[in-house]
Structure 1
Amino acid sequence: MPSKIKIVTDSSAHFSDSALPERYDITVVPLGIRWRGRTYQEGVDLDPADFLAQLSEHHALPELLPPPLETLQAVYGRLARHTDRILSIHLSQAMHSTAQVAQAATQSLLGRCDISVFDSKSIGLGLGLVVEEAARLAEVCDSLDEIVRALRKQLTRLYAIFAVDRLTYLERHGLLSRAQRLLGEMMGIRPILTIEEGELLAMEKVRTPAQTVDKFVEFVLEFTHVERMLLLQSALQPTEQTQALIERLNLEFAQRDYPIDLYQPSLACYLGPNASGVMLYEAPLSAERRRAPYEVEEQE
């Protein structure tokens, strides 16, 4: 009987159930975050709430670093003692270089272990859901190719929208020019971002929290059947904007449970402090499908 496929990912993955990596024996490799003269390891020595709070007090921009090549080589080497197949799933290659480093690390085991590096084209909950699906499939399937094909189909059902408070983060990642950033700051503009084909893109702009809520609700209502949804914010307690969003969503959906969480330090390297967002996973269309947790109520 072939050995079980081992799953590897990076710390930018958000899991709805924090026990899931241990349950499925998923290896989570920490990303580095360089900020204010120090380098931290996400998920090891960096508290998300403290980091987001400190970001709002400083103008220095954090830099997201891939795991060192030697770290990934060591991870693959350790797992290769127990399996001959590894699936390494990482945040969007269009946003970061982690997948490229992972691909380079596979060369150290060429011919000894079949390692497939998969670009999730996402980050946060999107990456976490792809990893979760891969882990479930690896329990019942011993073909890397079949799992990868199934994951590619899943990518088409992942969506995200974000509102950013500090435009310097968008300038750093090439989404705004310096002139656009300065003008936006003068006018009090908050850009609305999305992820398309793995790229973080600016799509619209708003000026007030109420307008942000409007855009988020419009975004969610584009989907008739939503299987998973996560509201992201930078504070431990629900913000006024998040509460207003939930009130609006409650008018539209039959289900009343809206998970709220901090966005991770890795995502904060792109969004900055005081950002917000919605990440969702669309339910598959099937005549036999069960009722999705979030379905738009029909108006009488």
Structure 2
Amino acid sequence: MTRNPRDNRAFAIVCDSLCDLPLPVFEAAGVVPLAQVVRVAGTDYRDCVDLDPSDFYVQISSTHGQVNTFAPSLDEYVATYDRLVAEGWKDVVSLHASSAMSDSFALAQEAASRVTGARVEVVDSCGTSGQLALVLACLVSARDGGCDTDEALARVREGALAARCLVVPAPDARPTLSKLRPKPGLLRRADSLRVRAMGARRLFAISDGGESREVMRATDLQRLAGNMARTMSSYSQVVGPLTYVEISAGVPRLLSIIEKPLDTNEFVSDRAAVLNTNPCTTCQLGIGAVGIAYMPSSLLSAREASGILCMQD
């Protein structure tokens, strides 16, 4: 993001590609992407930069077992911040996926400590995918609305604590929604095989602490969708109307199953965007994963979110 001398924005923004936004949206929103690394059959690619998400849905199907994902190197974080300093930015806000799920936040903190000439504030979004995207939209909205760095930090941290995510990985996926394995490898594999043998799908919730937990299993996606709607309804009773985004990994027709229970009078919710997962998220959740991320509309309206998450140059 080259700074225009007439640019009066108070700070630069850096964000993980795990927010599942395409490169043109990053560019249009004035956000520097930190591309995660996707290793396919021994070759490394930059998430959403070197890999087209649509093409990757086909590619991952033919390279099963040969795909891994990583955070960029520490040097890449330092180089990103140094470039912004060289462009004249004095303040940088760097937003990252949940520290409970990814090493990105810790690497960003270490890199920030090595930067001179600018203030680099590293923020844990407590989420990933669409949840991270909504928190990013909060930050962009605050910056573009004229907030200074401290005001924007207060708003984005409030958004991070308020955002939620419900996700159903693909039936054959082994979702990496935590850096820590809940069970030893052999037991975890046996559990995964048992789920697939039953034809069950699992619903995971990501809380304000950035940790995931399995909510329920069902062979019928409609049952999981009903649980998602009830969970959102319960939250809405506390915080009021919700702004949400839908998340799709290569099978958009499944979103209609997720949407149907949301057509209710029990709570008010407005969709801001449909996000197609970037390759890194697709690797983690599998093709056919679906989900919903949401936050109180009082913090970010659907119109605000849509104007940022759907913008293109």
Q: Which stretch shifts more, 212-221 or 167-176? A: 167-176
Provide the TM-score with structure 2 as the length reference.
Answer: 0.78
Name stretches of at least 5 consecutive residues in structure 1 with no aligned partner. 294-300
Tell me, in whole angstroms, the C-alpha distance in 2 between the residues paired with 1:40 and 1:127.
22
Deviations, residues 33-68 of structure 1 (Å, cap 9, x unaligned): 113222111111211122223434553163221122
| Alignment equivalent of 2:216, drawn from 181, 190, 204 | 204
Q: Which residue of 1 aligns with 2:308?
A: none
Q: Which stretch shifts more, 259-268 or 165-174? A: 165-174
Q: Which residue of 1 aligns with 2:52?
A: 47
Q: Which residue of 1 aligns with 2:255?
A: 242
Q: Which residue of 1 aligns with 2:40?
A: 35
CA contact (8 A) 2:14 2:95 kept: yes
Deviation, structure 1 residue 206: 1.0
TM alignment of 1:135-150, pairs within 5 A: 135-139=140-144, 140-142=146-148, 144-150=149-155
Q: Which residue of 2 aligns with 1:187?
A: 198
Q: Which stretch shifts more, 187-196 or 6-15? A: 6-15
- Change in Cα spacing, 1:108 to 1:92, as seen in structure 2 (3 Å) is same
- Change in Cα spacing, 1:290 to 1:65, as seen in structure 2 (3 Å) is closer
Tell me, in whole angstroms, the C-alpha distance in 2 between the residues paired with 1:126 and 1:58.
28
Name stretches of at least 5 consecutive residues in structure 2 with no aligned partner. 1-7, 305-313
CA contact (8 A) 1:12 1:123 kept: yes
CA contact (8 A) 1:232 1:260 kept: yes
Deviation, structure 1 residue 94: 1.0
Deviation, structure 1 residue 183: 1.9
Tell me, in whole angstroms, the C-alpha distance in 2 between the residues paired with 1:31 and 1:290.
29
Q: Which stretch shifts more, 227-236 or 6-15? A: 227-236
Q: Give the number of equivalent residue pairs.
A: 284
Between Structure 1 and Structure 2, the one with more helix by share is 2
Tell me, in whole angstroms, the C-alpha distance in 2 between the residues paired with 1:255 and 1:155.
19
Deviation, structure 1 residue 202: 1.5
| Alignment equivalent of 1:101, drawn from 102, 107, 129 | 107
1:233 aligned to 2:248?
Answer: yes
Deviation, structure 1 residue 73: 1.6
Aligned structure 1 segments of 4 or more residues deviating by more than 6 angstroms: 253-256, 289-293
The DSSP-based 3-state class of the residue aligned with 2:38 is: strand
Q: Which has the larger radius of gyration?
A: 1
Deviations, residues 104-140 of structure 1 (Å, cap 9, x unaligned): 2223324x22111111111122222222222332342
Deviation, structure 1 residue 254: 7.1
Identity rate, percent: 22
Tell me, in whole angstroms, the C-alpha distance in 1 between the residues paired with 2:85 and 2:10.
11
Tell me, in whole angstroms, the C-alpha distance in 1 between the residues paired with 2:277 and 2:61.
14
Deviation, structure 1 residue 274: 1.5
- What is the RMSD of the two structures over their aligned residues, measured on CA atoms? 3.1
Provide the TM-score with structure 1 as the length reference.
Answer: 0.81
The DSSP-based 3-state class of the residue aligned with 1:169 is: coil
TM alignment of 1:54-69, pairs within 5 A: 54-60=59-65, 62-69=67-74
1:267 aligned to 2:272?
Answer: no
Tell me, in whole angstroms, the C-alpha distance in 2 between the residues paired with 1:86 and 1:256.
31
Tell me, in whole angstroms, the C-alpha distance in 2 between the residues paired with 1:3 and 1:171.
36
Counterpart amino acid of residue 200 in structure 1: S
Deviation, structure 1 residue 266: 2.3
Deviation, structure 1 residue 258: 7.2
Counterpart amino acid of residue 286 in structure 2: G
| Alignment equivalent of 1:5, drawn from 2, 11, 15 | 11
Q: Which residue of 2 aligns with 1:216?
A: 228
CA contact (8 A) 1:4 1:138 kept: yes
Counterpart amino acid of residue 50 in structure 1: D
Counterpart amino acid of residue 202 in structure 2: P
